[in-house]
Chain A
């Protein structure tokens, strides 16, 4: 079974703070994704990548940066955190393009911006 590990599991920061969420997958998957989950909205795609050094913009990218440093590691950066970014964040990976391939999800990071 594919393994996707997120850290930290919980994070509290203040408005204007700097936050980095980390994700590592150990299954040699090409694609990695960052989603946020909010009540009433389901899962919304922030950014994704199909390989080291690549970055694609998702559906709700404003206020977020991301970087894929290696095939295994994908980071989500909030440089000036706002309360609207309080959410549950999921990282996911897939062997190929997720449009026809199942996603494997991490356990999520709960972020609170005060």
Chain B
């Protein structure tokens, strides 16, 4: 069965610090794609970053980076130098070739304190 689990319901950190959000997944496939999306307070959902399972290098975009540990079926999202506007709900998701859909985790609510 394919499943994505985010065990951290909410996290609160001080501004300008680094935060890591956890995500583990269950899959029997050796090839897949992993995504992180951000949902702002207004409800808008936007794509952040993606990791291809066959790539060993961790993806990085701006102040977002991933900690991909394939043997542990884990894809953590790292946000460095956090800003107030990073306060949001973050979802991870998994997708497979030619299956036409993503399976999302439950989400982690991140609060950045000034």
Contact = CB atoms under 8 A, between A and B. Distances in A.
Interface of A: 31, 33, 35, 40-45, 48, 50, 56, 58-59, 88, 90, 92, 97-100, 102-105, 107-108
19 contacts: A33-B101, A35-B104, A40-B106, A41-B106, A42-B6, A42-B91, A42-B107, A43-B104, A45-B101, A59-B101, A92-B45, A97-B98, A98-B95, A99-B33, A99-B100, A100-B97, A103-B102, A105-B44, A105-B45
B43 A48 contact: no
B30 interface: no
Contacts of B96: 99
Interface residues of B, number: 29
A97 B4 CA distance: 19
Contacts of B103: 45, 59
Contacts of A41: 106
A107 B44 CA distance: 5
B68 interface: no
A62 B43 CA distance: 25
Contacts of A104: 47
